[in-house]
Amino acid sequence: MHNSRPADEELAAEQPLSASTPLSHTEGVWYSLGGNADAVSALPVSTSPLNSFTELPSMSLATHARDPPRPDDDHGYNPDSVLDIMLPRGRLYKIIEMYFDYIHPLTPLLHSTTFWRDLERRRELDWGQEEWTALVLSVVALTTCQLPYTFIPMTRDDARGLVQRCNAHIRTSQAIEWEKWSIERAMTTLIQSQTMSLLGKSQLAVTFRGIVTVNFTYQQLHLDNPLLEREQWRRLWWLAYCGDVTVVALHDRPTLYHEDDIAMDLPAEIDDQFLTELETLPPPINYVHRISGFLYNCKLFRLLGDILEKRRRDRRRPPRDVNLQLRFLELDQLHHQVVHLMDSCPDELRSQVRNPDQTLAALMESVLQGGPTELPPLDTLAQADIQPTFIIQQANIYVTQQLARTLLVRYREELVRLYDQEVALGLAPVIPNITTHAAIQAERDDIVNTLILVLERLPLHVAGEAAALSATDTHVAVNTYWLVSKIRFVASSLLDSPASEENPSSSDRILTQLWRLVGFLNDLECLYSPAASLHQINL
């Protein structure tokens, strides 16, 4: 691991980042759950003043004066370094550390060992390293957008200005003519796609991801490359694929991929410290690789992509008679694979409650009874003996698992509805052992129960204050836009479904509990992060 960086107190004492265009002082949240027009929403959205923002003027690097040398910065200041112009070196290292601690487990795109090495030797000063410099700034922008503001010692105004300057420089760098689609350029483009999603620029996000997909497909960039670069290309492809499947699942948009043509191998299950440019090093005995959670997530998204592809085909040409029976059998097999995907996973990736008093459900009950200002402090994590890296991955994997189950339920419901119509018109024979509406409702109820259990097991470490809450560690917030979008999709799908005729009170009780839980998640996210203040940045 990398050596520790200057303390937060030293970083907070550094000079402000921006020196010219004044920025809005409006307090905002990390993101607004209702701010994205594409979001599937049937849940309450906070109308807190934290969600307000002021439109900011378009900015470029040229509009900001260079920060003067900082004698209190142990890393020095070089006026020829674009990175030093953008922000103090100590703060840069702090942001990069936060990226590798919290975001890299979800999107392990960069090779941490070589990235830190190049950063410390100031690779940006070498000739022809504009693309690598843009890559660093894209990581800074993404981390500043995705992490709760309490993680990074910056004011919200400084955070907005920093993201604007990074994006302005990246646009300039990406416009430079190139002969080969390099791994640095590809990673920058994909990271920009993630950043645009967080900023509510969904069309730009899709465009950037499409650029990566097209160049990768045409040039077969994962072939005939050195070991390290080959693994980076594989990780990049799977990240782009998972992002595309997420958009297709949540917003029912056309896909960028043909499932039948996918033959990409998964990345190797080996962490960065054991992967070099020339060889892989043996890990310690019983070592659990951090990237294992990412690989399980890729397998889950591959199943989800298969579900979406079958649904797309059936909507164009609905199956009938024997083909319909076969389709139900295929859906049963996919359901079994989705539900049992994590059966053989390492203990670090198993969702389990270690301390019931410290779960999200217990925190929710406290808030409902006394309100946020009376929230008692939580001093331990629900899974205190599990590394935050794996807890963050748990949140992503298990919520995505319920998303896949929900899509299967809706898909199966469409087929059952089609079958009932044909039987009523005498166009189809009665098929024995067909999926019933009662079975579908039972599956819905089980999804609700499972999702609530998953959310209850997400650990939080918070502290109550007189007028507000401050978070020192919240793994729900680290997942931000994508995790909550999935929760909202599952919840809205289930809340819109009719209650079970056999036991309506049970269904109503479960759905009411889910509504309260997700509504609290919304309020928690609004309290913890400043995304809305970044949400409407002019790019």
Terminal Cα-to-Cα distance of the chain (whole angstroms): 35
State how far the Cα of 416 lies from the Cα of 437, in Å rounded to an integer. 8
Encode pLDDT of 126-156 as tens digits: 999 999 999 999 999 999 988 876 777 788 8
Per-residue model confidence (pLDDT) at position 520: 58
pLDDT for the residue 151: 76
Lowest average pLDDT, out of 255-269, 305-319, 462-476, goes to 462-476
pTM: 0.77
Determine the Cα–Cα distance for residues 399 and 492; give it in Å rounded to an integer: 14
Please check whether residue 456 lies inside any domain of the structure: yes
Number of separate helices (H) and strands (E) present in the chain: 17, 2
Q: What is the DSSP string of 29-42?
A: -S--TTS-TTS---
* Angle at the Cα of 190 from the Cα atoms of 266 and 213, rounded to 5 degrees: 65
Burial group, residue 235, by CB count within 10 angstroms (0-12, 13-18, 19+):
buried
pLDDT at 114: 96
Choose the most confident range, by mean pLDDT, from 18-22, 52-56, 96-100, 325-329. 96-100
pLDDT of residue 33: 26
Residue 379 lies in a domain: yes
Mean pLDDT of 49-72: 35
- Structural domain includes residue 259: no
Mean of pLDDT values over 438-467: 66
- On the question of pLDDT at 76 being above 50, the answer is yes
Report in angstroms the alpha-carbon separations of 226 from 104, 215, 235, 279.
Answer: 22, 19, 14, 10
Question: Residue 433 pLDDT > 90, yes or no?
Answer: no
Give the alpha-carbon dihedral of 415, 454, 190, 283, to 10 degrees. Answer: -120
Q: Per-residue pLDDT for 26 more than 90?
A: no
Residue 441 pLDDT exceeds 50: yes
84 within some domain: no
Distances (CA, A) of 531 to 143, 293, 453, 455, 512: 12, 26, 27, 22, 28
Neighbours of 172 (CB within 10 A): 14
pLDDT (mean) for 305-330: 91
Residues near 370 by beta carbon (within 8 Å), at least 6 away in sequence: none
In tens, the pLDDT along 241-270 reads 999 999 999 988 899 888 877 878 899 999
**Residues 186, 236: contact at Cβ < 8 Å?**
yes
pLDDT at site 452: 78
Three-state secondary structure of 158-172: HHHHHHHHHHHHHHH
For the chain, give the mean pLDDT.
74
Q: What is the pLDDT of residue 225?
A: 79
With pLDDT > 70 as the criterion, what percentage of the chain qualifies? 64
Q: What is the pLDDT of residues 354-379, one digit of tens each?
A: 455 555 555 555 544 554 444 333 33
Q: 235, 267 in Cβ contact below 8 A? A: yes
Tell me the two tokens of residue 290: 């951090």
Contacts (Cβ under 8 Å, ≥6 apart) of 194? 107, 142, 146, 205, 243
Q: Decide if 196 is inside a domain.
A: no
Residue 12 has pLDDT above 70, yes or no: no
Tell me whether residue 220 is in a domain.
Answer: no
Could you list the residue range(s) of the whole structural domain that residue 437 is in? 33-51+321-531
What CA–CA distance (Å, rounded) separates 319 from 327? Answer: 8
Q: What is d(CA 5, CA 88) in angstroms, rounded to the nearest whole number?
A: 12
The answer to whether residue 328 sits within a structural domain is yes
**Among the residues of 425-539, which ranges form H helices?**
437-456, 475-495, 504-528, 531-535
- How many domains is the chain partitioned into structurally? 1
Per-residue pLDDT at 125: 95
Structural domain contains residue 334: yes
**HEC profile of 233-272:** HHHHHHHHHHHHHHHHHHHCCCCCCCHHHCCCCCCCCCCH
